[in-house]
Structure 1
Amino acid sequence: MNIFKTAILFSAAATILLGITTEQTAVAGTLKLDWNYTIDPSNDSLGGPEKFELHGMALKDDWAANTIWVAITANMPLTGIDTGNPYEGMTVSNGNIGWGDLFFDFSGNNSYQNANDSGSLFGIRFAPNNDSKAPETGVYSGVKATSVVTENAGWWNLHNQNSGLNRRTGVESGMGDLAWNDPYYGIYTTPTTFENSANHIPNIIASGNKIGDITMVGDAELAAAGFALGEFPARGKHTIGFKFDKSLLPIGRYTATLLQECNNDPLAAIGATAVPEPSSILATMLGFGAFGVWRKRKQKLAT
Structure 2
Amino acid sequence: MIQKLAIALSATLTGLVSIGMVQPASAASLHNGWNYAIDSFTDGYGSGTIGQNSAYEMYGIATTQRNNRLYIALNGNMPITGASSSGALDGNIGWGDLLINFTRSSLSQANGNLFGIRFAATNNSGVPSLGVYSNVTAQSVTASNSGFTTLNAYNAAVQAVGGTPTMADLSATDPYLNPSGAILNSIASGTKIGDIQALSSADLTSLGLNFGHFSATGSQTLGFSFDQSLLPTGNTNLNGGNDR
**Contact (CA 8 Å) 1:26, 1:178: kept in 2 or not?**
no
Give the TM-score, by structure 1 length.
0.69
Gaps of 5+ in 2: 1-13
1:223-242 → structure 2 map (5 Å cutoff): 223-242=205-224
Aligned residues: 224
Q: Which among 217, 228, 232 is matched to residue 250 of structure 1? A: 232
> Aligned pair 1:113/2:108, yes or no?
yes
Q: Could you tell me which residue of structure 1 aligns to residue 40 of structure 2?
A: 41
Percent sequence identity over aligned pairs: 39
For 1:1-303, list aligned pairs within 5 A: 23-25=23-25, 27=27, 29-47=28-46, 48-49=49-50, 50-62=54-66, 65-84=67-86, 87=87, 92-109=88-105, 111-116=106-111, 119-169=112-162, 171-186=163-178, 189-190=179-180, 199-262=181-244
> Which fold has the larger relative contact order, with Cα–Cα distance below 8 Å and residues 6 or more apart in sequence?
2
> Which has more strand, going by share of residues?
2
8 Å Cα contact 1:152-1:261 kept in structure 2: yes
Question: d(CA) in 2 for partners of 1:177 and 1:200?
Answer: 21
Contact 1:37 1:231 in 2 (8 A): no
Q: Distance in 2 between matches of 1:152 and 1:24?
A: 31
Q: Which structure carries more helix by proportion?
A: 1
CA contact (8 A) 1:55 1:232 kept: no
Deviation at 1:32, TM superposition (A): 2.1
Which residue of structure 2 aligns with residue 294 of structure 1?
Answer: none
Are the aligned partners of 2:40 and 2:164 in contact in 1 as well (CA < 8 Å)?
Answer: no
Inter-partner Cα distance in structure 2 for 1:172 and 1:227:
26
CA offset at residue 222 of structure 1?
1.2
State the distance in 1 between where 2:212 and 2:164 align: 25
1:47-85 Cα offsets, whole Å, 9 max, x none, are: 0342100000101123xx10010111100110111113x
| CA displacement, residues 72-111 of structure 1 (integer Å, 9 cap, x when unaligned) | 1100110111113xx3xxxx110111111011111122x1
Alpha carbons 2:29, 2:37 under 8 Å: kept: yes
> Normalized against structure 2, the TM-score is what?
0.85
Relative to 1, partners in 2 of residues 1:23 and 1:131: Cα closer, same or farther, differing over 3 Å? closer
Provide, for residues 244-279 of structure 1, a one-character-per-residue CA deviation record: whole Å limited to 9, x for no partner. Answer: 1101111112211112111xxxxxxxxxxxxxxxxx
Superposed displacement of residue 229, structure 1: 2.7
If you compute each CA radius of gyration, which structure gives the higher value, 1 or 2? 1
Q: Matched residue of 1:150: which SS?
A: helix
Letter in 2 for 1:153: S
Structure 1 segments unaligned to the other structure (5+ residues): 1-12, 191-198, 263-303
